[in-house]
Structure 1
Amino acid sequence: MTATLEPSAGIGRRRRRTLPWYAFGLANLAVVVVLSLVSWYLVADPEWSASGIYPQPLTAWMFWTIIAFVWAAFTFELSPFARLGQPWKGLAVAVVTGGLGALITWLLAAGWGSVDASFDGARAEGAGFILGSLIVLYSFVVYVISAVNCGHWPWTRSGLQQPWLGAASFGALVIPVVVLYLVFAVPSMATWAPPDAALLDPYTQIGFFYCVVVSAILTGAVLENWPWRLAGSPGRTALAALVGNLVVGWVLYEALVGVTHLVLGSANVAALGETLPMFGAQVGVCWVFWMVMWPNAFGNRPTGGRLGVVLVGRTVITFVLAVLTFALYYYVLAGVVLHEPAAADGATVSGSALVGMDWLIIWALWYVVAGESWGLPRPHAAVEEETS
């Protein structure tokens, strides 16, 4: 991979090193993978790390850290960090979001868990951590759709600017998040809930609602809000995105569970048993990783030509990469590289993508999105746009 030089635009003007778009993307991927592996072995690895936090409270921390990043980067559009240059901006976002993730996880498990045993971190199989972090699932749905698909409507109509726009959005959206959490999550896992109170079991909740998030990111980031933008006004676009993502999310849920059958095989599917519905999210998290990397590191290619070809091309590229990553993760990475245990009793595959792939996503968000790929030469197209 060889950096190139931008042609001189004038006498004495310093030439800037640049990279082809694919080399820039691969360089970002390499940095993210290295940062992820080194930190995994030091902090999270179930065999090599002495922390003992795998899989809980590690998973709860990652869920809360990612939603903290969504609040910072999407709801508040990184406005609290706007005056910082790189690498301090990226480092500050990482410290704040990672710190919030740790603080909220601890407050729920050790604080609220002392009041309601349902949230106690000492519950068997990390059930208290799981219940405490399930609210993040519904936060993903609400806050991602609001920012990525709806453009903060209706608060943008008021003329608010950041950080007040983010504060209004954040405060108002707490209400639907809490309602969804109380309706779906709490009855399914609270120690005091009647046995037949749950509308959906936790595995189905995670699988389905995560696929709604996949739909929101796919349509909002990769497809530039197609087809919801066809609805016209901001209000109609918001309504179309809300209803449309629920429908597309259900279709994706069914399809991605089907992908699990194809990739893992009938024997492993049988071993997964009641946890199988959650594998819509397991494939989905691999897709989310590529939907973070593709627009931000690989330039969201293709970018020219007929609109239909461009949108289908991006969808196919990110989906194929997701399925390949899912297969590689379960057959090789989780067990051999990350030392995760078997995915289920009797399974020949290891790990949970909602652990290992979320770890990668966090580093992608910190380095590529917040850190703006600090230290790497810029891609050709970005430099040409800056100097035009």
Structure 2
Amino acid sequence: MEALELEKKPPGLRLGPPMFSLMNLLIIVAASYLIWIIFADPVHSPWKTYPQPFGVVLFWSILFVVFFAFLGQLWGLGPRPQPVSGAIWILLTTVFAVIVPSVLLHGYGVMDPAFDIGKGGYTATTMIVLIGFYTWGILGTSMGHWPWVDLGLKQPWVGIGGFLFGFVLTFLGYILLIYPSLASWTSPDKTILPLTVVIGWFYSVIVSWLTTFLILDNWPWSAFGSRAKTAFAALVGNFVVGTGIYFAFHALLRGILLPQDVQAALGPAIDIWPAHLGVCVSFWLIF
């Protein structure tokens, strides 16, 4: 019997929850620092890829994590053992994160000056991720793949349906909030919100999404009853809570975290800093 139990024991190092969490954190920090040194550090990196194209590839890597993991639920990678499955996932994420921005910058950018690599195209390309991280990410998390699962669909069709639904939401958000600030045919005074405010506010919405889903187990949206009501409440409700978080972060930055001389130097650009604070908060929420 003992021999049989030993045979069933999965291979590899087995750790308890506290040690697993600590090792996970250490590996993430070490790997992140190594990537920074190789590709981004202005002193030690052998390549001059920072801030761009390092930034755009990094952002789009996050978005492809959303596509593969949140929407697709790692469809097609499940049967393979670790670490093979993880290595394939990292490779696919990296390859697509290079290809898609390249197509936008060097292909579509020829037709649209906003995406022209020589005229600020990196900003236009990167900002797609800001909107898409929420609109695609929430579909597979707080919204529970609604309505595709309710229709009886399975993967990969659930992921494809979510991608198409998220594409519409991302397109609308981008056209309304981001593109008018970058397009050649408009001016800053004709936008709904300044781009700095949009970035700071929208990332605060992301903080609301991650907090309610990861920490509060999708409360309060789950209290609305049916899956459809929960999905709609989560999609819209995070904008309400996120707006409150934006003003709270703004007050925290102005009142405690940023010295007065720094605030004076930043000027209106301080409106983007709730996003910087939100990135730090989001790391610990996900961790």
Q: TM-score, normalization: structure 2? A: 0.93
The match for 2:139 is 146
Gaps of 5+ in 2: none
Larger RCO (CA within 8 A; separation ≥ 6): 1
Would you say 1:24 and 2:15 are equivalent positions? no
Residue matched to 2:240: 247
CA distance in 2, matches of 1:195, 1:290: 35
Q: Distance in 2 between matches of 1:188 and 1:114?
A: 19
For residue 174 of structure 1, report the CA deviation from its aligned partner: 1.0
Mapped contact 1:131–1:186 kept (Cα < 8 A): yes
**CA shift at 1:94, angstroms?**
0.8
Deviations, residues 25-54 of structure 1 (Å, cap 9, x unaligned) = 111111111111112111111221132121
Question: Superposed, which structure 2 residues align to 1:253-268 within 5 Å?
Answer: 253-261=246-254, 262-268=256-262
Provide the rounded CA distance (Å) in 1 between the counterparts of 2:252 and 2:53. Answer: 29
Q: How far, CA to CA, are the matches of 2:15 and 2:214 in structure 1?
A: 23
1:229–1:237 contact (8 Å) kept in structure 2 = yes
Q: Which letter maps to 1:178?
A: F
RMSD: 1.6
Q: Which amino acid aligns with 1:114?
A: V
Give ranges in structure 1 of 5+ residues lacking alignment: 1-9, 294-388
Superposition deviation, residue 196 in structure 1 = 2.6
**How far apart, in 2, do the equivalents of 1:273 and 1:194 lie?**
20
For residue 219 of structure 1, the aligned residue among 209, 212, 234 is: 212
CA contact (8 A) 1:113 1:128 kept: yes
- Contact 2:208/2:238 (<8 A) preserved: yes
1:288 pairs with 2:282: yes
CA distance in 2, matches of 1:182, 1:93: 31
What residue number does 1:96 align with? 92
Report the 3-state secondary structure (helix = DSSP H, G, I; strand = E; otherwise coil) of the residue aligned with 2:214: helix
Task: Tell me what 1:204 maps to.
Answer: 197
C-alpha distance after superposition, 1:150-197 (max 9, x if no partner)? 101111111001111111111122112111111111111112324432
Q: Is the 8 A contact 2:188 2:194 kept in 1?
A: no
Amino acid at match of 1:145: I
SS of structure 2 residue aligned to 1:146? coil
Q: Which whole-Å CA distance do the structure 1 matches of 2:268 and 2:95 have between them?
A: 34
Inter-partner Cα distance in structure 1 for 2:187 and 2:36 = 39
Counterpart of 1:67 in structure 2: which amino acid?
Answer: L
Alignment of 1:320-339 (within 5 A): none
* Alpha carbons 1:61, 1:105 under 8 Å: kept: yes
- Out of 106, 109, 122, the position equivalent to 2:102 is 106
- 1:234 aligns with 227
Name the CA distance, whole Å, in 1 between partners of 2:15 and 2:260. Answer: 44
The code of the aligned residue for 1:34 comes to: A
TM-score (structure 1 length as normaliser): 0.69
Structural mapping, 1:1-388, within 5 Å: 11-12=2-3, 13-14=5-6, 18-123=14-119, 127-261=120-254, 262-293=256-287
Deviates more, 1:32-41 or 1:224-233: 32-41
Q: Give the fraction of aligned pairs with identical amino acids, expressed as a percent.
A: 35
Inter-partner Cα distance in structure 1 for 2:22 and 2:41: 25
Task: Tell whether the 8 Å contact from 1:148 to 1:216 is kept in structure 2 after alignment.
Answer: no
Letter of the 2:283 counterpart? F
Residue 364 of structure 1 is matched in structure 2 by none
CA contact 1:113–1:121 (8 Å) conserved in 2: yes
Q: Are the aligned partners of 1:57 and 1:105 in contact in 2 as well (CA < 8 Å)?
A: no
**Distance in 1 of aligned mates of 2:271 and 2:87:** 36
Structure 1 residue 11 displacement after superposition: 2.6
SS in structure 2 at match of 1:196: helix
Aligned partners of 2:249 and 2:96: how far apart in 1? 31
Say whether the 8 Å CA contact 1:60–1:129 is kept in structure 2. Answer: yes
Cα distance in 1 for partners of 2:43, 2:105 equals: 24
Deviates most, 259-268 or 78-87: 259-268
Supply the distance in 1 between the matched residues of 2:2 and 2:188 (Cα, whole angstroms).
Answer: 77
Tell me how far apart the structure 1 counterparts of residues 241 and 263 of structure 2 sit (CA, whole Å): 24
Counterparts of 2:187 and 2:157, CA distance in 1 = 42
Q: How many pairs does the alignment contain? A: 281
Q: Distance in 2 between matches of 1:107 and 1:197?
A: 29
**Residues 144, 80 of structure 1: alpha-carbon distance in 2 compared, 3 angstrom cutoff:** same
